[in-house]
Amino acid sequence: MHLGRTVFSQLLDFLPKPIFDQCVRRYQGNRRIRTFSCFDQYLCMVFAQITYRQSLRDIETCLRALHSKLYHCGIRGIVSRNTLAKANEQRDWRIYSDFAHALIARARTLYADDDFGVQLDREVYALDSTTIDLCLTLFPWATFRRHKAAVKIHTLMDLRGSIPSFIRITDGKTHDVNILDDLTLEPGALYVMDRGYLDFARLYRFTHHLCSFVTRTKRNFDYSRLSTTPVDKNTGLRCDQTIRLNGYYTSQDYPAVLRRISYVDPDTHKRLVFLTNNFVLPALTIARVYKCRWQIELFFKWIKQNLRIKTFFGTSINAVKTQIWIAISVYVLVALVKKEFRLQQSLGEILQILSLVLFEQVPIGQVLTNMSIQEHNVADCNQLLLFDL
């Protein structure tokens, strides 16, 4: 029987502690702190995310029951719900944001060669946002509706490995299109967006920075057709056109030509019309790339179902951002574990396994790799056979 380190302690091997310490020093997170460091806070919140804790009291009760194992898991301070609540309230959320970005950079390197369904020799990103509803009385800073509060998580996701590369947390009233101003565009990359990001002045930045975009048009779209390329309608394509904008303001916002592609999805029979500034890729490839945008919807669904980002342990904007960024780091941590052990299980299955064995003293690789249950039909030697075979 293995009596070594706990699974939680072995998970810390995937967390670069020197980089975390750099993030803490950058924002003076441990200034005048004696007993409950930022790393203690981070590990307590990671424990809450992995084991599906519901409240600060729940976290305190469970960790105090495991008090004899906490020191070897990296938690050196005394766990108290008041101390943890104060830490979430006051310690700069950018510490955990920067650390999550460090984990993201490592994960993107490991998943750089993964296939996402379309063979392309360039970076492909999907941009979208998800809304988390909140109580207006408890979160008055997160304005959304007259009687409702919410926060938005704007995400730019690398489709290779479904790893988020850019995240911005705002109140619910922030329009999605404003996030285009915050993106650092990569020359040669391809960005896939829905029609909520249709702003021609901002989209012209993509052309100016030598990168491509794929989005959908709106119904009141005014344009002039310049030329048409023949398409194979058996593939679902209906047209492939080169167009120019007609509107007075839109033509000034986007003076270059655009490519308009009409496509009928063979599964849903829904007609989709795409706009792109890419004239090199085949029209069918553009349609397939846009279909891969669904991966970011699955990412939002996953983090809402498997992580604690719909109920919060604090009501301030700092506490909310801290919890969301730590949840993102847990998602990336599970992705790193999956890649390290070359697991076939989904991220949700891996997280469920970890939630059950977090404080077991077994090798983490053994727990995650020995998943196949073999049934051996062995005849009992004391059981007489009724028939001779």
Q: Is residue 377 part of a domain?
A: no
Decide if pLDDT at 117 tops 90: no
Decide if pLDDT at 67 tops 90: no
Helix (H, G, I), strand (E, B) or coil at 83: helix
> Whole-angstrom Cα distance, residue 365 to residue 367?
5
| pLDDT tens readout for residues 276-333 | 999 999 999 999 999 999 999 999 999 999 999 988 999 999 999 999 999 999 999 9
> Based on the number of CB atoms within 10 Å of its own CB, is 389 exposed (0-12), middle (13-18) or buried (19 or more)?
exposed
Sequence-ordered alpha helix ranges (H) in the chain: 7-11, 17-26, 38-50, 56-65, 67-70, 81-90, 94-110, 200-208, 248-253, 283-291, 294-306, 317-340, 347-357, 364-369
**Same-domain status, 279 and 341:** no
> Whole-angstrom Cα distance, residue 324 to residue 309?
6
Please compute the mean of the pLDDT values over residues 356-373 and round it to a whole number: 81
**Same-domain status, 17 and 86:** yes
Decide if pLDDT at 250 tops 70: yes
> Whole-angstrom Cα distance, residue 53 to residue 56?
8
**Same-domain status, 54 and 122:** no
Q: How confident is the model at residue 218 (pLDDT cuts 50, 70, 90)?
A: confident
> Whole-angstrom Cα distance, residue 161 to residue 335?
8
Strand partners, 190: 124, 212
Decide if pLDDT at 379 tops 50: no
**Same-domain status, 91 and 135:** no
| pLDDT tens readout for residues 26-63 | 999 998 888 899 999 999 999 999 999 999 999 999 99
pLDDT of residue 207: 94
Please compute the mean of the pLDDT values over residues 184-206 and round it to a whole number: 94
Residue where one domain finishes, among candidates 245, 270, 298: 298
Helix (H, G, I), strand (E, B) or coil at 171: strand
Q: How confident is the model at residue 382 (pLDDT cuts 50, 70, 90)?
A: low
Q: How confident is the model at residue 374 (pLDDT cuts 50, 70, 90)?
A: very low
pLDDT of residue 329: 96
**Same-domain status, 140 and 271:** yes
**Same-domain status, 177 and 287:** yes
Domain containing 357 equals: 7-95+312-367
| pLDDT tens readout for residues 339-356 | 999 999 999 999 999 999
**Same-domain status, 339 and 288:** no
Residue where one domain finishes, among candidates 266, 298, 330: 298
Share of the chain above pLDDT 90, in %: 75
Using an 8 Å Cβ cutoff, are 86 and 44 in contact? no
Please compute the mean of the pLDDT values over residues 72-98 and round it to a whole number: 91
Residue where one domain finishes, among candidates 298, 333, 359: 298
Q: Is residue 111 part of a domain?
A: no
pLDDT of residue 3: 58
Q: Is residue 361 part of a domain?
A: yes
**Same-domain status, 170 and 122:** yes
Please compute the mean of the pLDDT values over residues 205-233 and round it to a whole number: 92
Q: What CATH number did the domain enclosing 247 receive?
A: 3.90.350.10
Decide if pLDDT at 186 tops 80: yes
> Whole-angstrom Cα distance, residue 107 to residue 208?
29
Backbone angles phi, psi at 148, to 5 degrees: -150, 145
Q: Is residue 130 part of a domain?
A: yes
Report the interhelical angle of 294-306 vs 317-340 (nearest 10°): 110
Q: Is residue 128 part of a domain?
A: yes
Q: Is residue 224 part of a domain?
A: yes
Q: How many domains does the chain have?
A: 2
Q: How confident is the model at residue 236 (pLDDT cuts 50, 70, 90)?
A: very high
**Same-domain status, 201 and 350:** no
**Same-domain status, 294 and 319:** no
How high is the mean pLDDT of the chain?
Answer: 90
**Same-domain status, 264 and 142:** yes
Start-to-end C-alpha separation, the chain: 41
pLDDT of residue 370: 72
Please compute the mean of the pLDDT values over residues 376-387 and round it to a whole number: 47
Q: Is residue 210 part of a domain?
A: yes
pLDDT of residue 321: 96
Helix (H, G, I), strand (E, B) or coil at 108: helix
> Based on the number of CB atoms within 10 Å of its own CB, is 352 exposed (0-12), middle (13-18) or buried (19 or more)?
middle
Using an 8 Å Cβ cutoff, are 164 and 299 in contact? yes
Q: Is residue 108 part of a domain?
A: no
| pLDDT tens readout for residues 145-174 | 888 999 999 999 999 989 999 999 999 999
Tell me the Cα Rg of the chain: 25
**Same-domain status, 85 and 224:** no
pLDDT of residue 72: 82
Q: How confident is the model at residue 371 (pLDDT cuts 50, 70, 90)?
A: low
